[in-house]
Amino acid sequence: MAIILDVANLTRSFGQLKAVDGVSFSVERGSCFGLLGPNGAGKTTTIEMLEGIVKPSSGTILYQGSPINDTIYQQLGIQFQHTAIQDHLTVHETLKMFAAFYERTVPLDQLISLCQLDDFLKRDHRKLSGGQKQRLLLALALINDPQLIFLDEPTTGLDPHSRRLFWDLVNQIKAQGKTIILTTHYMDEAEYLCDEIAIMDKGQIIAKDTPDNLLKQHFSGALIKLNADALKSLSGSMPFDYQQVADKVLIQSTDIQQTLLQLIEQGVSLQGLQVKSANLDDLFLKLTGHGLNNKEGLEHV
């Protein structure tokens, strides 16, 4: 499949802080690429460089094989977490105003149908529900018929039904051959939507592949999770490898019954025991030492 975006050795420093440190990846046309990481990992700065908001300190960004420039930036679609819209405008008036910014646009009736805006076209945009507003913002990101679309945590704060509805819209957009770069704090969202993900931590990409391949690379068998306090009752040494992350102990096991018997024999408390298949949340714990929703560190780096 053709590469639409190619990023090589991208860096960005703010004084002594190197927020992005040698990031490289490529995005295939027609795919959904997830750029994920805890707060302070550098993903926001990386996305802002791709969108043309922040200039890289070094590195290259190629769009369809050519250096990205101001003309190309006008061809991108961006759904920010927060977009300022003129007050006192209806949804339909907002669409018409944004359409006037571009020489080439998607027919408004097509966007209205795709994003399911029909029922509230005449409503003041300030009176929309969370899900309705996100669908309007998605329509605005699509209005110039972009081939590459950035979705920055688009479902944050939405209820489960609204999130699922938004996911369906994203899949419809991808089915049109458009390419999506997604940031999200919801791991089920990344697993459902993304063909490939890159995990950032401390300014670098520490893992990149399909969600399934990453889980296969880092986990085998089942995952046993215990409260870290359980080790206080351990008599002797742990009989197998484990990883302690924050307040959890992670144990990979291909024989759950035998592992649990050994834990009991060593006096380990099974309070808070979980036995499950590993998911992307567990992968984050293993690779970064904290969950994706960790609030420590720089909030918007």
Collapsing DSSP to helix, strand or coil, 109 comes out as helix
**Phi, psi of 134, rounded to the nearest 5 degrees:** -65, -35
Question: Is residue 296's pLDDT more than 50?
Answer: no
Interval 194-232: pLDDT, tens: 999 999 999 999 999 999 999 989 888 888 888 888 777
Q: Which ranges in the chain are annotated with CATH 3.40.50.300?
A: 3-215
pTM of the model: 0.85
Average pLDDT over residues 282-296: 66
Using left for φ > 0, alpha for ψ between -120 and 50, and beta otherwise, residue 232 falls in alpha
Mean pLDDT, the chain, rounded, equals 88
Question: Is residue 294's pLDDT more than 70?
Answer: no
pLDDT band (50, 70, 90) for residue 139: very high
Most confident of the following: 17-31, 59-73, 235-249: 17-31
Q: Does domain 3-215 sit in CATH 2.60.40.420?
A: no
* Residue 86 burial class via C-beta count within 10 angstroms: exposed 0-12, middle 13-18, buried 19 and up: exposed
Interval 26-49: pLDDT, tens: 999 999 999 998 888 899 899 999
Question: Is residue 233's pLDDT more than 60?
Answer: yes
Question: Is residue 300's pLDDT more than 70?
Answer: no
Cα dihedral 197, 202, 203, 207, rounded to 10, equals -30
Question: Is residue 88's pLDDT more than 90?
Answer: no
* Joined tokens for residue 208: 């990149």
Question: Is residue 140's pLDDT more than 50?
Answer: yes
